[in-house]
Amino acid sequence: MVNRRIPEEDIEKIRTSIDIVDIVSEYVQLKKQGRNYFGLCPFHGEKSPSFSVSPEKQIYHCFGCGAGGNAFSFIMEQEGFSFTEAVLKLADKAHIDINVNANEFEQKPKKQNNMMVAHDMLTKLYHHLLINTEQGKEAYDYLIERGFSDDIIKNFQIGFAPNSWDFVSNFLQRREFNLDEMIDAGLLSRSEEGKVFDRFRNRIMFPIWDRQGNTIAFGGRTISDDKVKYLNSPETKLFHKGNNLYAFHLARPHIRKKEQLLLFEGYIDVIAATKAGCENAVATLGTAITPEQATLIRRNADNVIICYDGDNAGVNAAFKATQMLEENGCYVKIALLPDNLDPDDFIRKYGAEKFKSEIINAARTVMAFKMEYFRRRKNLQDEGERMRYIEEVLKEISKLPKAIERDHYLRQIASEFSLSLDALKSQQFQIFKQMRQNKDNRDWKRNNNVKTVLTTQKKLLPAFHNAERVLLARMLRDAHLAFKVQDEIGGAFNIDEHSAIAANLYAYFEEGNEPDLGKFISRLDNPALQKIVTELGMLTIQDEIDDDELNDYLKKVLDYPKWLMIEEKEKEKKEAERQHNFVEAAKIAMEVLEMRQQLKNRL
């Protein structure tokens, strides 16, 4: 990975001037657990965090996909940078000057780089035209009238494309851009006769950025009688609409601070929400939410409030977005807008404070939203439609993991329609049994050899993983043993889910509870943890465990991070040998030998 074009002392200066936790936190929501930080891996899709960052070692490692390295390799992998580009990016963050000839390192493909440069130049040009020229005065006055401040215009780099067929094409041509490339970039268009002309004309321009804040596309709103009110850039090599969230780079620090993300449909909504003080706002750019967007959201926020337009299309889109975000592990609420208003309309009509207090802060739970959704276009005075509504709601209630939630909504239905609570509970339980049976049948058809597969998987688990499973299985059955394990290793389990289960179990027993698998499972909010605990509870293990066996399991759990450290040292030794630094290699070899000896002597 080392590049000799940059002096080694400069690279080391950068490495020691940055904290990998700060670097990774710009891309991944991290939470501290013990000495390390954990989050969802940015290199593969997952719902439970397996991505670990060590501030002590300044390295990262994913227990799911195996990705690992230091801050430089993280930036290289995440951004697709060469080593030199990663060094320069981190040097800039550390405010360290590095002199490197731009021709000495790999660049993005020339065409793609030209597209990026053109977008950046036009962002600045459009912004200048809006705020400094007579051409942009009408658009500027329109924005001010709509409540846009100069700070908002500057922050979102809003601009104006003049009412000309060739203003931008001439601007780009004078700067020797290839016009065919600019057509591919979505900045220009070509007529059937072959004439090149500006794509955006007489429009207020909203830059659309990638996750790092580079302009990759534009959205344009007409200020004339054009039938096309909004015109966006097409899909290009730079811009894939379903992969990005509007204003994500601006909202990210506020999302982290508030531990919450507000999701809107369009860029006007995001700007309006920001004006209202909701700076943790992003948008899906008017499209239905994609799996890529849902994954990006989950990596950066646990809690999401969806605030789509109040019309039928907006409500239907919110319903679909809710399902996808919940599948990705987000806790979702829905902010409902009245009277077919969009967020911008509501804020301009009722003001920022009312938007925050009556819409965002009053966001409904998913179940409450679904009940409202199922009511739409139903005449509940009609017996048939009322029965259909109740059955739809009972199906959703049956999916709720918590008994308290199920009871709450069943009582709500019973009260509203003057029905027997016992009858509703009985009907809901029948629906639950039918849903579970249907699921079991699907699972059996999908793989009627599941027992064999599970057995094979268990045999392939590493020793530390099996040790953790056996320890937890015994702890679920024995409070005294659980406290003994707590004294020895606390929460130092290597599997994130195991650590979470142990923490819940310690708290459970500290409250004076006796071992009771069903009771303990009901305390867990996370369905994934519930599934693991159920599986552990079904393990066949001996009733007693002697001290030697217990110590052996504890040793496997505690030694695993040390073996990882030895592996890292072995890599360092090979790197030193590759660089013919044999003194350093010998020193590392002695460290490895000493570490192995310490492991051998433990316990």
pLDDT-wise least confident of 183-187, 387-391, 393-397, 547-551: 547-551
Assign 283 a pLDDT band (cuts: 50, 70, 90): very high
Quick check: is 467 in a domain? no
Classify residue 2: in a domain, yes or no. Answer: no
Q: Is residue 150 part of a domain?
A: yes
Q: How far, in Å, CA of 338 to CA of 565, rounded?
A: 57
pLDDT above 60 (res 103): no
Q: Check residue 586 and give its pLDDT.
A: 85
CATH, residue 172: 3.90.980.10
Q: Which of 131-145, 303-317, 490-504, 510-524 has the highest mean pLDDT?
A: 131-145
**DSSP assignment of 334-395, as one string?**
E-PPSTT--HHHHHHHH-HHHIIIIIITTPEEHHHHHHHHHHTT--TTSHHHHHHHHHHHHH
CA distance 11 to 88: 10
In a shared domain, residues 249 and 131: no
Tell which residue, 401, 397, 408, has the closest CA to residue 521. Answer: 401
CATH number of 54's domain: 3.90.580.10
Residue 340 lies in a domain: yes
Looking at the structure, tell me whether residues 229 and 253 fall in a common domain: no
For residue 3, pLDDT beyond 50: no
Kindly report which listed range (131-140, 266-275, 442-451) carries the lowest average pLDDT score: 442-451
In a shared domain, residues 364 and 396: no
Whether residue 531 lies inside any domain: the answer is: no
pLDDT in tens, 416-432: 999 999 999 899 889 88
- Is 521 a domain residue? no
Residues 121 and 217 in one domain: yes
Q: Which residues contact 308 (CB under 8 A, 6 or more apart)?
A: 263, 264, 265, 314, 315, 317, 318, 321, 337
Is the model's pLDDT at 347 over the cut of 50? yes
Judge whether 564 lies within some domain.
Answer: yes
- CA distance linking residue 355 with residue 320, whole number of Å: 23
What strands, in cross-sheet order, belong to the sheet with 203-209? 159-161, 203-209, 215-222, 230-232
Residue 194 within any structural domain of the chain: yes
pLDDT digits (tens, 9 = 90+) for 245-270: 999 999 988 998 888 999 999 999 99
- Of 373, 398, 415, which residue is a domain's last? 373
- pLDDT tens digits, 172-229: 999 999 999 999 999 999 999 999 999 999 999 999 999 888 999 999 999 988 888 9
Regarding whether 234 and 248 lie in a shared domain, the answer is no
Arithmetic mean of pLDDT over the chain? 85
257 and 235 together in one domain? no
- Kindly provide the residue ranges of all beta strands, DSSP E only, lying in 494-603, ordered along the sequence: none
Q: What's the pLDDT at 2?
A: 43
Using an 8 Å Cβ cutoff, are 61 and 52 in contact?
A: yes
Residue in 13, 113, 6, 7 with CA at minimum distance from that of residue 71: 13
Q: How many domains does the chain have?
A: 5
In terms of domains, do 162 and 139 share one? yes
Q: How far apart are CA 3 and CA 82, in angstroms?
A: 10
286 in the same domain as 182? no
Domain end call among 239, 270, 302:
239
Q: Are 219 and 259 found together in one domain? A: no
pLDDT bin (cut points 50, 70, 90) of residue 104 is: very low
For residue 390, what are the domain limits? Answer: 382-444
What per-residue confidence (pLDDT) applies to 281? 97
Could you tell me if 13 and 127 lie in one domain? no
More confident residue, 15 or 105: 15
Of 63, 94, 125, the domain-final residue = 94
Residues 219 and 141 in one domain: yes
Look at residue 537 and tell me whether its pLDDT is greater than 80. no
pLDDT at 158 over 90: yes
Nearest to 468 by CA among 492, 433, 484: 492
Same domain for 179 and 270?
A: no
Q: Is 198 helix (H, G, I), strand (E, B) or coil?
A: strand
